[in-house]
Amino acid sequence: MAAAAAAAAAATTAPPPTCTPAGAFDPLLEVRLPTRSRIFISAPHNMRLHRDGHDDHQDEVYTSTLAHKFGQHLGAGSVCWAAEVRKRVRESGSAEAAARDPNFLLRAELDANGWNAALRAVRAGLGGADARCLHVDLHGARDPPHWEVDVQLGLGAMEQAEAAAAGAGAGAGAGAAGEAVKLRRALEARLRPMLAAKGWDLQAGGAETARPTLNGVATPDRFTMTEQSVAVGYSHAIQVEMSYRLRKAMVEEPELREAFAAAISVAWSDCVF
Ligand SMILES: [Zn+2]
């Protein structure tokens, strides 16, 4: 397992990307570029945000730290709200109008949005249209028993795009032989045993686990981060919902955190290399 994981990880890193996005990023964001993998990790909800027509979206604590640390471990890029912006919002206790929820954007605002721009710029630096690239979007969910499991892996955006490409609409079951199905199964095979060893479980909706409730797809007029990344050319995208207790454990335990990040990376490698 260790040798296979190392081989797969090596495959992920070859050839190294030449990530040279043009232009500056939105100053509200902290963007770190990929250094040796074709993976980009985001954490869009690590501060209080306005959500059109809803109560404010609450801070999903630890997700920025995990995005950057996963990125460091994998040689992946990462994007979070800048630390000074998060501090300002935390101290004031109120969301800022300029900080739109990037997981709930209207189509009309995508082009001018800093998060969407970061997804596009990093993707452009990772190679041509046929380059395989993974976007991992990190979120915080409530602990069980509110949800059945500590990890929900949402591949709804990939599935939706595969269904649309097949001309079948976004119906369930479309893309049965598609990349989303392969990735669901690979994630179950790689991540589930690693979590089980610590007493946690996941939902990915592959052959072994139930479909997650939180699957990365918004209403038809709104776009999640994974819907946006798939639209701009990431071949694979996963929305990762993690319980508070798992996030906290991963911040405190580097070994657990690195095993989690590596399992996602290796599962993806299993599918594409
Ligand atoms: Zn979230």
- Strand partners for 100: 50
Residue ranges with CB less than 5 Å from ion ligand 1: 45, 60, 139
Q: Which residue has the higher pLDDT, 227 or 3?
A: 227
Residue 16 C-alpha to ligand 1 middle, in angstroms? Answer: 30
Q: What is the pLDDT of residues 220-268, one digit of tens each?
A: 999 999 999 999 999 999 999 999 999 999 999 999 999 999 999 999 9
pLDDT confidence band for 24 (50 / 70 / 90): confident
DSSP 142: P
pLDDT at res. 115: 97
Q: Residue 155 burial (CB < 10 Å; 0-12/13-18/19+)? A: buried
Residue 105 has pLDDT above 80, yes or no: yes
**Burial track 112-129 (b if 16+ CB lie within 10 A, e otherwise):** ebbbbbbbbbbbebbbee
Q: Does residue 143 contact residue 243 with C-beta atoms inside 8 Å?
A: yes
Structural domains of the chain, with CATH: 17-177+211-253 (3.40.630)
Residue 4 has pLDDT above 60, yes or no: no
Residue 10 C-alpha to ligand 1 middle, in angstroms? Answer: 31
Average pLDDT, rounded, for the chain: 90
Q: How far is CA 212 from the centre of its chain?
A: 15
List C-alpha distances in Å: 127 to 132, 162, 235.
Answer: 8, 21, 12
**Burial track 244-260 (b if 16+ CB lie within 10 A, e otherwise):** eebbebbbeeeebbbbb
Residue 102 C-alpha to ligand 1 middle, in angstroms? Answer: 10
Return the percentage of the chain with pLDDT > 70, whole number: 88
Task: Specify the pTM.
Answer: 0.91
Residue 121 C-alpha to ligand 1 middle, in angstroms? Answer: 22
